[in-house]
A = this chain, B = another copy of it.
Amino acid sequence: MKIQRISDALSIKRTVDGGTNEQLLAVKAIVENVKLDGDAAVKRYTERFDGVVLDSLLVTLDEIDEAYADMEDEMLAIIQEAASNIRSYHEQQLRPSWMTTAENGTILGQKVTPLDSVGVYVPGGTAAYPSSVLMNVIPAQVAGVERIVMVSPPGKNGKVPAAVLVAADMAGVKEIYKVGGAQAIAALAYGTETIKPVDKITGPGNIYVALAKREVYGDVDIDMIAGPSEIAILADSTARANEVAADLLSQAEHDERACSVLVTTCEELAQKVLVEVERQLVELPRRDIAAKAIENFGAIYIAADLNEAVETINQIAPEHLEIITENPMELLGRIRHAGAIFIGRYSSEPVGDYFAGTNHVLPTNGTARFSSPLSVEDFQKKSSVIVYSETALKENGQKIAAFARLEGLEAHARAIEARFK
């Protein structure tokens, strides 16, 4: 990490990992075999990749009970409160079907319908991510999706981590399978004897999961393929260096390729943050990961003024943006591109990762220019509704026929005219 002039800020160029050819071929083979052999293939891959032989893929009610017993009451209450906050926020996103009516009898509208079924992938590995369960399941549930399936790879003990099971149960998931990797994505997309297929698959995963999602996309819908986490902090001289540094490190600990950027109008802050990052870094349990991220994708930029700083942020289009300035609210209207905007000193980014209620699934890698946070709308779709009365068609039929003929589509014109023969 070093201090740079703003002109260097846009040289940061990052790409989403596309996987190797070997990985892609492996994924294609797994998907094909799950299509052919169903449960048998899924169990074979689970034995090979997770090292467990499973009789049954379905998580039982006993396993859920056991998971609750494994958790401390205080932690259960925190997860419950987070779930409740996430639910409240996402309920604000619900939009009704609507229509307009005209005196000639025309009715036009949009009918909003939830997806029939959704599959949520929850990654395994050394840590458990109950927050990921809440962030993917709750918007689907608020949207009205009837069937929400969760899949997560079993650990060596044949179990899914307690915190993940508890979060799923609290969010209302009734169907959980101990399957991970590309085989889980294939099972969700094409179905097996045990797992009925779904219409959309969401949730993060490793490169095999990402490639499998790309592979099945089109047959089912998927959410975005997320890149490594990013934070940009826009700060002036009122920001505290230790807080800014701590927030930069909170993203850096996610991934060696995570990106932490400070854009500031204050050279003194820049110098202090540089020192603080080094000081705090060595005390972190995940310092090896965070150090690589800071070294390769960390940067501090000095802007001449807030205008230049804001323009730089818009060009970066970061996943997470913190604004820690004297009057942060007055900058909100000028931020055009950011996944989530955290305003003021007390809105530290982890507030949004876990608890405030906003979604932590956000556009990365500059895609905030055209993409949005995961939302209720990702689990609904719309149908246009058109009602034309006899009067309306009499009024407009000849115009419609003329337009069709202009495009050389005679059968379109005749379909209209058939009504008046």
Contact = CB atoms under 8 A, between A and B. Distances in A.
Q: Is the interface of A mostly helix, strand, loop or mixed?
A: mixed
Interface string A389-420: 11011001001111110111111111110110
A363 B384 CA distance: 11
A57 to B, nearest CB: 24
A340 interface: yes
Given A130-B406, A382-B372, A411-B284, A348 B78 contact: no
Given A82-B403, A338-B383, A368-B381, A252 B411 contact: yes
18 contacts: A16-B218, A75-B402, A75-B403, A78-B399, A108-B358, A130-B406, A199-B369, A243-B418, A247-B418, A250-B411, A341-B385, A343-B386, A347-B386, A347-B388, A351-B388, A353-B412, A375-B382, A377-B377
Contact of A416 (B74, B348, B362, B421): B348
A206 to B, nearest CB: 17
A252 B385 CA distance: 22
A250 B412 contact: yes
B130 A346 contact: no
Nearest to A15: B218
A37 interface: no
Interface of A: 16, 74-75, 78-79, 81-82, 88-89, 92-93, 95, 98, 100, 106-108, 110-111, 113, 115-116, 126-131, 163, 199-200, 218, 220-221, 240, 242-243, 246-247, 249-250, 252-254, 280, 284-286, 290, 329, 332, 335-359, 362-363, 367-373, 375, 377, 381-390, 392-393, 396, 399-404, 406-416, 418-419, 421
A358 B340 contact: no
Contacts of A372: 381-383
A410 B350 contact: no
Contacts of A246: 411, 414-415, 418
Given A402-B78, A408-B127, A416 B351 contact: yes
Contacts of A290: 411
Given A75-B402, A382-B375, A356 B106 contact: yes
A350 B128 contact: no
A27 B343 CA distance: 44
Nearest to A314: B116
A249 B415 contact: yes
A290 B352 CA distance: 55
A403 B355 contact: yes
A199 B370 contact: yes
Given A128-B407, A356-B386, A413 B350 contact: yes
A108 B74 CA distance: 25
A359 to B, nearest CB: 7
